[in-house]
Amino acid sequence: MESNYKKLIVWQKAMSLTTNVYGLVKKLPREENYALSDQMRRAVVSIPSNIAEGCGRYNQNEKSFFMRVARGSATELETQLLICKNLGYLNDEDVQTSIVALNEIIKMLRGLEKPTSRKFLSSTN
């Protein structure tokens, strides 16, 4: 796996999702500022952060561990988005767009848990 995490398409997608979710969190009611919105921000930031940390490790077991942590944060965020939808804080379109991105990221992270994962490198960076 390439040590330059910025070349990873999955990291790039996770960074884009982070920007998107920060925008969605602004739509939540004020009473959620220190509850659901804070939890969502932590979960979404954890995804690209753990990808980067995993890429900084030399041991494949450590890299795989951080990819699994990132995947766990992605599924946590998906649950929080669904809670927002169920509470009427976010509309279906906002939630679905983010969930589609999350599912793509989760799929890529599963691939990065394997020792020979170079397929998610960007050719443009």
| Residue ranges per structural domain of the chain | 5-112
Q: What is the pLDDT of residues 20-63, one digit of tens each?
A: 999 999 999 999 988 999 999 999 999 999 999 999 988 888 99
CATH H-level superfamily of 5-112 = 23S rRNA-intervening sequence (1.20.1440.60)
Which two tokens mark 78?
């998906």
Q: What is the pLDDT of residues 16-30, one digit of tens each?
A: 999 999 999 999 999
Task: Report how far residue 67's alpha carbon sits from residue 40's, in angstroms, rounded to the nearest whole number.
Answer: 19
pLDDT number for residue 115: 63
pLDDT number for residue 34: 87
Q: How far is CA 21 from the centre of its chain?
A: 10
Q: Please say whether the beta carbons of 39 and 80 come within 8 A.
A: yes
Q: Look up tokens 């004020």; give the residue.
A: 30
Say whether pTM exceeds 0.85.
yes
pLDDT cut 70: percent of the chain above it: 89
Task: Report how far residue 1's alpha carbon sits from residue 118's, in angstroms, rounded to the nearest whole number.
Answer: 5
Neighbours of 65 (CB within 10 A): 16
Task: Give the max Cα distance, the chain.
Answer: 46
Count H helices and E strands in the chain, helices first. Answer: 4, 0
Q: Is the pLDDT of residue 15 over 90?
A: yes
Q: Is the pLDDT of residue 2 over 70?
A: no
- What's the Cα-to-Cα distance from 9 to each of 5, 48, 87, rounded to whole Å? 9, 11, 33
Average pLDDT over residues 89-115: 92
pLDDT number for residue 3: 57
Q: Is the pLDDT of residue 86 over 70?
A: yes
